[in-house]
Amino acid sequence: MMNYEIFKEVVKEKFMDYMPEKFKGMELVAEPVEKVNVTLDGIILREEGRNISPTIYINDMYKKYQDC
């Protein structure tokens, strides 16, 4: 079983392989995101010229991975 840091890197490396073609040109960034009373690890998809970006939090993904 992977530890959390390795899991985070694997998700970051493989994420775009599962995205539709129209998203392939977007920049993928993994960084901590401050929320109320907690810091979560987010994968952020950035598109040039856009001010808003979707963020996918991987903390819960890792918990589900551990349950498998």
Domain that residue 14 falls in: 4-67
pTM for the model stands at 0.78
| Residue 41 exposed, middle or buried by CB count within 10 Å (0-12, 13-18, 19+) | buried
pLDDT (tens digit, 9 = 90+) per residue, 23-59?
A: 888 999 999 999 999 999 999 999 989 999 999 999 9
pLDDT category at 10 given cuts 50, 70, 90 is: very high
Count how many domains the chain has.
1
pLDDT at 8: 94
Residue 58 is classified by DSSP as -
pLDDT at 25: 86
